[in-house]
Amino acid sequence: MNTPIFRLGLTALCFSFAQLTLAAEPAATLAIDATKPGAVINKNIYGQFAEHLGHCIYEGIWVGPDSPIPNTKGYRNDVLAALKTLAVPQLRWPGGCFADEYHWRDGIGPREKRPSMYNSHWGGVVENNSFGTHEFLELCELLAIEPYVCLNVGSGSVQEAMEWVEYMTSPASSPMANLRRANGRDQPWKVPYMAIGNESWDCGGNMTPEFYADNYRRYNTFVKNYVSGDANRISRIACGANADNYNWTEVMMKNVPARSMNGLALHFYTIPTGNWSAKGSATDFAEAQYHATLVRTLKMEELIAKHGAIMDKYDPAKKVGMVIDEWGIWTDVEKGTNPGFLYQQNTLRDAILAAINLHLFQAHADRITMANIAQMVNVLQAMILTDKEKMLVTPTYHVFEMFKVHQGATSLPFTLTTPDYVLGEAKIPAVSASASRDAAGKIHVSLANANPNTAITITAALVGVTAKSVSGRILTAPAVNSHNTFAAPDVVKPVAFDGAKFAGGQLTLTLPAKCVVVLTLE
C-alpha cells in the first residue's frame, strides 16, 4: 500500500460533512425512459452464500436448540429476524471449497450420532455435523428462501450426488426417500438450484476446463427431476471461470449444450491492494486505497461484458444465465482472529462497493440471473456480524435491504452523464445508478456517489412517468471507513432522504458525498 497522505477518520477534513459546504457541486444528468421497459431484474441477483467457514454457520446462524442464546429450533432468533427483513431470495450452501469435501450422509440422522469432520480448508477445525441437510433446508423454509445446493464433484462420486438429489427431492417410496422419512421428513423439499461442483479449476479438483466439462455432463446426467412439471425442475449451475479466465467460459459453452445447463458461474473478488498476500485492512485505509478498491471492483464490468460476449456467441437466445455466485470485497482478517475464518469488518466503503456491483448486475439483467455475495454471516463482506449473544447488521446489509425494491421489478433504460472521481492518474464514474418499475407501478431509482469529498447535483429527465411525489432513504456516515460495532451498532444506517424534488416531469436532487440513495416515485 502506498504511504497514506492522510488517514480516514471522524476528524479527517476531506471526509467530513463540514467540507460539503465548501466543495463545489459538480453536476450529473440522468434520463429515464419508462416507455421502453427492459428485462426483469431477477430477484436471485440478491442471493446470499453460507459456507461452513469460520462462524458463518456455527455461532452465526446455528447455535443448537440447547443454547442460552434465544433460538428457534437451534437457529438464532436475532439472525432469523434480520434475514427475514432482508427478503433473501436464494441461499447457496454448503460451499465454496467446503462443498467438495462435504459428504452429505455425515450430516443426517440424530445429531448425537453424526460423525465429526475435519474442515481442512477453513481453519483446521473439527465440526460435529449438527448442521446438515435437514437443518439447511428447514432454515430455508423458515425464511421462505429458495435453496441452492452445491454438489460434491471434487472428492465425491456420481452415486453420492445422485443419491443426495433423490434424498432431498424424491416423493417416491425409494431407498433414499425412505431414508429421509426415517430421519423425520415425509415430504420432499423443493430444491430449485443445484451447482455441479465449485471452483473445479482450483480447490474443487484442479481440473482443466475440458476435463470439468466432461465431468459436468456426466454428473448432470444423474441430477434427476423426480417431480414432473416445470415448476419443480432443478436448474443446474455449472462451475464457471475464475475472474478473467475466458478460455474456461469458451470451453464450457462449446463443449456443454445450452440445453444441459441453466447457468454458468463466475467468481470475482475485489482485493483492495490487488495483492492476495497483503490484501489491506477492512477499516484502516487512506483515500488512495479507497479509490483503488473501487477501480478494482469495476473490473466486474469488463468481466461481465467479455464473458457475456462468449456466452452470446454460443447462446444468442440467452438461455444460459450468468451466475456470479461468489463476489464481494476480500480484505485481511481482523487482528486476533483465526486467519482461516476470514472474519473482516464492514464499512461504508463496502456499502458503496456493493451498490456499484448491484447496479452492474441489474444493467445486465438480460444475462445475469443469479448472484451470491460472500458471505451471509461473519465471513468476508457479511450482512451480519455476531459475537456470542450479540449481533449487528453491517452497511452492506443496509444496501441489500434498501435495494430489495428492485427484486423482480422491470428494469428501465436510462442514460447517465456523471463527473469522474479522479485521484492521481486513475478515475472512475462518481455516480452509478439503476432504475426499475415494480408490479404496483412504483418507480425506484438507486444512486451511489463514490466521491468521498464532493456532493453532486443531479437533474433527471423522466419520460413516461406519471408519478407526482418522491420519497427516499440515504445511507452515509462521517467517513468511508465508518462501521458498526457491538458497542455502537448504528453508526452506519439508512435515514429518510428529503433532498429530491419532483416537478413537471423532472427530478432534481443533490447527492451528498460518499452515499447510497434509493428514491421511490409514485
SS3 178: helix
Round to whole Å and give the CA distance between 257 and 319: 11
Phi (first) and psi of residue 458, to 5 degrees = -125, 130
- Give the H or E element holding residue 496: strand 495-496
Phi (first) and psi of residue 105, to 5 degrees = -65, -25
For the chain, give the number of residues.
522
SS3 8: coil
Catalytic residues: 199, 326
Q: Is 188 left (phi over 0), alpha (psi -120 to 50) or beta?
A: beta
Please enumerate in sequence order all residues whose Cβ is within 8 A of that of 242, keeping only pairs 6 or more positions apart, or say none. 199, 201, 202, 248, 267, 268
Task: Dig out the grid coordinates for 68 from the structure.
Answer: 442460552
Q: Whose CA is closest to 343, among 330, 334, 335, 354? A: 334
Please enumerate in sequence order all residues whose Cβ is within 8 A of that of 448, keeping only pairs 6 or more positions apart, or say none. 352, 355, 356, 359, 431, 432, 433, 515, 516, 517
In one letter, which amino acid is 427? K
User: What is the chain's percent helix, strand, coil content, to nearest 5?
Assistant: 30, 25, 45
Residue 348 contacts residue 477 (beta carbons within 8 Å)? yes
